[in-house]
Amino acid sequence: MSLSRLNDAIGKINDVLCAASVLVWDSRTMLPKGGGATRAGQLATLSLLARALLLSDETLKALDGARREVETMPQGAAWRRAVQKVEEAIALHRRIPAALIERRTKARALGTQIWVEARANNDFASFAPALADIVAVTREYADAAGWSGHPYDVLIGLYEPGATFADVAALLDELKCGISPILGAALGRPRPARDFLDEPFSEERVKAAARLLTEVLGYDYEHGRLDKTVHPFAISFTREDVRITMRLGERSFANSLFGAMHETGHGLYEQNVDPAFTRTPLTTDLVGLHAGGGASLGTHESQSRLQENHIGRSRDFWQAHFGRMKAALGGLDGVEAEAFHLAVNDVSPGLIRTEADELTYDFHIMLRVELEAALLTGDIEVADIPGAWREAMKRHLDVTVPNDREGCLQDVHWASGSMGSFCTYTLGNVMAAQLFEAARQQGEGVADGLTKGDTAPLRLWLKEKVWRHGKRFTRDELLQRATGRALEAGPYLRYLEEKYGKGA
């Protein structure tokens, strides 16, 4: 009975957070330029309401009873884990003042709106004051939450529970050592033809092709939709309404398509959670105060990177589906599936993270983790970012940054206050390879299906091993159950070596 009351209480919080998510989706797809300040206040009000409900007497009383109700359940039981999630969130929010939550929410919402304009105009100076506010409130948040090793630990913990800056730094070092020789060998080979990737298509044609590909991957349009945005994202208002977005008007239509396929991975995760977990602590981020779930953001990114790269950049996928994509686009005359596959797997250091090939992608993440950690500790300040970015791009990838739009203004993450989240893309890359390797070895019909461009058997395996569990298991628990091992870089490095060691 108490557990039921607790889930009812959390359900109300989930409703509030879903309402906030609708406003976030609107603000990043169609909010008029002049509406940013008001929207920031609306989102702050909803965040404070969610926090108040979490710390209310109703929730605390229900939690006390539910704690006794689940104590005889085995460790790892779904509802015992749900109670633990509520306990962890309450412990954190008792340390964070309500005024700080309000300031942080407003800063993030305003920062996103200002960034859109600044990016379009290549004007870092107009964005710098908003970013300075975000950095300041983020530092305050880390201090209030409490940290002992590194302030970055608090932020990583919001997205990747249990991970530390030291963990991330060690993994990035391992990958740098492992990927660098593969990258060097790949750069020594002739590049494939790719001029056809610049063929212009209308936004309507590109969106039609994206819809086709996302449906092939299994995204359910009865419970979702695809919209245009500046920086692609996915967002969930419970499993019944999960939306994805894409960029349109890109230099290369392929960048738009792969962005949509990436977000499809996030969408599949949210659409396939166990219905019994809807509006409970197992589908609600009570720490970060937003709707949606998954074991961690890195786990979520593993699903997006798996769809984008392991499937979307595979030869078999394009042998099966290239003709239909060509028809949707209405072009690419004379281009064959093999040529397209080679082109979208071309290896060449570039400016833009979301357009990066698989071998250079993690170097983009290394740069961002390095800079945001330095921002947190005060080793650099906001005014230093453009220069520090240019220096780091040259050092990591030997790329010269011509302007801030293609440099430090390219990502929305800092503008939206998501400092500490960039590392989850690399964690996702590593986890995706580990899961994909296990699925091909263990999943009935998975390997055979993939050779035909059929992802249905893989989806069934992922639903059983990953998607349906929501936030029930930690990342490493999920990996242990699915692969028999905790997170490890080996499968990822093997995948890259096998694919790029002798050419894609």
Paired residues of 246 in beta bridges:
228
Task: Tell me how far the alpha carbon of residue 113 is from its chain's centroid.
Answer: 20
Handedness of CA 431, 436, 439, 442 (dihedral sign): negative
Strands, sheet with 226-228, edge to edge from the N-terminal-most edge strand: 226-228, 242-246, 234-236
Helix (H, G, I), strand (E, B) or coil at 422: coil
DSSP 8-class letter at 374: H
Read off φ and ψ for residue 189, nearest 5 degrees: -100, 155
Residue 154 neighbours by CB distance under 10 Å: 24
Paired residues of 290 in beta bridges:
285
Residue 323 neighbours by CB distance under 10 Å: 12
| Token pair belonging to 412 | 């929305």
Q: Give the type of residue at 451.
A: T
The answer to whether 247 and 237 are in contact (CB under 8 A) is no
Place of tokens 């610049």: 198
Task: For residues 452 and 249, give the distance between their C-alpha atoms in angstroms, rounded to a whole number.
Answer: 31
The answer to whether 429 and 361 are in contact (CB under 8 A) is yes
Task: For residues 410 and 440, give the distance between their C-alpha atoms in angstroms, rounded to a whole number.
Answer: 35
Task: For residues 367 and 370, give the distance between their C-alpha atoms in angstroms, rounded to a whole number.
Answer: 5
Q: Give the type of residue at 135.
A: V
Task: For residues 410 and 232, give the distance between their C-alpha atoms in angstroms, rounded to a whole number.
Answer: 12
The answer to whether 251 and 260 are in contact (CB under 8 A) is no
The answer to whether 119 and 405 are in contact (CB under 8 A) is yes
* Degrees to nearest 5, angle at CA 298 with 251 and 439: 95
Helix segments in 94-224, DSSP class H? 98-121, 124-145, 151-159, 165-187, 203-216
Task: For residues 205 and 200, give the distance between their C-alpha atoms in angstroms, rounded to a whole number.
Answer: 10
Place of tokens 């305003």: 110
Q: Give the type of residue at 475.
A: R
- Enumerate the active-site residues: 263
Read off φ and ψ for residue 478, nearest 5 degrees: -60, -45
